[in-house]
Structures are given as C-alpha cells and as structure tokens.
Structure 1
Amino acid sequence: MTSLSTPVQAAPIGPPAYSQTFPCEPRTAAIGRKLVRDALAVWHLNGLADPAALIISELIANASRHTPCHSIRLLVRRPSTARVRVGVVDRAPSRLPVLGSADGGAESGRGLLLVDEIADRWGYDLRGSGRRPWGKEVWAELLTGADG
C-alpha cells in the first residue's frame, strides 16, 4: 500500500489539488484522512481538517462497501478560494450514491446523511464520455470562509 511518507505533490497547473490512488478497502480511510489534513495544512485551512477528514472517511467507506473496485483515487482540491472539495473516484459508474434514511437500529447506512449534514454541498460526476462513462467521482465541498 502506498503511504504518505513522501510529501504529497500539488498539481503543476490549474487550481491547487492533491491526488493519489490507493486500494479500495476500509483501511485506506486512515491514509485519506492524512492526505486531507496535509493538503489543508498547506493551504492554512486547519479549521476544516476534522469535517473534511470525516467526509473523506465516509466516501472511502462507501466506495469500499458498495463498489467492486480494486483501487480508488482520492482528491483534495480548491476549486476556488471559498471552497475545498474532497472526492473519491472509482470505476463503478452504475453504482451511484443515494441519500437514504437509516433505520433507527441499523449499524450502518448513515454515511451520506452525515456527509449531507457536514458539507456545504455534495454530489457525484460521471467520468469519461457521456454515453460510456468509465467511473464516477463522489465529492463534497466545504466553505473556507474566504470570499471567492
């Protein structure tokens, strides 16, 4: 498994972004939280670290639980000075996220409800051509407090 012992590299062009591919398994959540915290620290947005880490954990859990993918790509981006976007890309475009309601006694099923409550907004984008997507990105955005 890849680790973050080497520094995360920013995208050479476009808005600031961090991206790495990892196995699609629950233990990747710990690495995802570190990736998010490291990126936010570089951008001096440490106040968003806890909610962003929780969101990426939930997105990784959903990908590992609901897709047959062997690997996922974790993304942390700043589409604008006012927003941070965390996302998980998988190769299962037919398995779209659905915001449901968890049974009171259920031990799971609350991940997207939690993301919906914490994030400013969330959604998914299909990857690839419109007729034949090869994957999807499930993402969530947090406001930075900056104008933008």
Structure 2
Amino acid sequence: MRPCQRSWHEELAEDGALIVSELVANAVRHARRESIRVVVERTAVRTVRVAVADLSQARPEVREAGDGDEDGRGLFLVAAPAADWGTDERRWGKIVWADLEGRG
C-alpha cells in the first residue's frame, strides 16, 4: 500500500487558514467597519491568493512586537509562509493579500 500523498493545494490549507485568520483579525480590529470580504483565488498553476477586503483606507503596518506584547505579530505571521504579500488600495478601502505557492 502506498502512503497517501497530499496534493499541492492541500499542503497550502493550513498556511492559508492562518493567513486568513490574521488578516480578518486585523480588519476587524483596525478597520472597525461593518463589512469585510474574504477572497481565495487561484492565480497561477500552483499559486493561491488569499485576500481580505475592508472599507478602511488605513494601510497595515508591520511593527516589531516586544517580548511581553500580546499582539503585533500578525503581519509577520502572514509574511512567513507567503511567497509574497501586499496591500492594494481601492477608492472604497483596501485589499490585503498573500500568495501561497504549492510545491507538489
């Protein structure tokens, strides 16, 4: 019996869930608006983009959290597994996104 191999998109699921969780938490905490949108799309053969759109135009800022800080590490957690990440400004707000690349 061969061991079950995970497909490339299954390998991205855990990192994708972490990134969405962090981006949603940031939108809820900092945008303080009534609406956010989560988008997951395949942008290339082995690339998935996860994104969170909100109605705030305030761009997220990477900051260095101190040893005793309970927060401030979210964007580091987004950047670590991501091949790339960024913010796209819109007239109505912004979209913060991260690209994950499958290896399998």
The alignment's TM-score, normalised by the length of structure 2, stands at 0.88
The structure 2 residue matched to 1:134, chosen from 82, 92, 102, is 92
List 4+ stretches of structure 1 deviating above 2 A.
Answer: none
Instruction: Find the counterpart in structure 1 of residue 101 from structure 2.
Output: 143
Structure with more contact order per residue of length (Cα contacts < 8 Å, sep ≥ 6): 2
Task: Tell whether 2:61 aligns with 1:86.
Answer: no
Amino acid at match of 1:118: P
Aligned to 2:4: none
The answer as to whether partners of 2:8 and 2:102 remain within 8 angstroms in 1 is: no
Listed as ranges, the matches of 1:1-148 within 5 Å are 45-93=9-57, 95-127=58-90, 133-145=91-103
Task: Measure the CA separation in 1 of the matches of 2:48 and 2:54.
Answer: 20
CA RMSD of aligned residues (A): 1.5
Kindly state the Cα deviation for residue 145 of structure 1 after the two structures are TM-superposed: 2.5
Shift of 1:82: 2.6
Count of equivalent residues: 98
Give the C-alpha shift of residue 90 in structure 1: 0.3
Give the counterpart letter for 1:81 in structure 2.
V
Aligned-partner residue type, residue 123 of structure 1? G
**CA-to-aligned-CA distance 1:70-101 (integer Å, 9 cap, x gap):** 110110011111310000000101x1011111
Structure 1 position 44, deviation (Å): 6.5
Identity value in percent: 46
* Structure 2 SS opposite 1:113: helix
Q: Tell me the TM-score normalised to structure 1 length.
A: 0.63
Gaps of 5+ in 2: 1-6
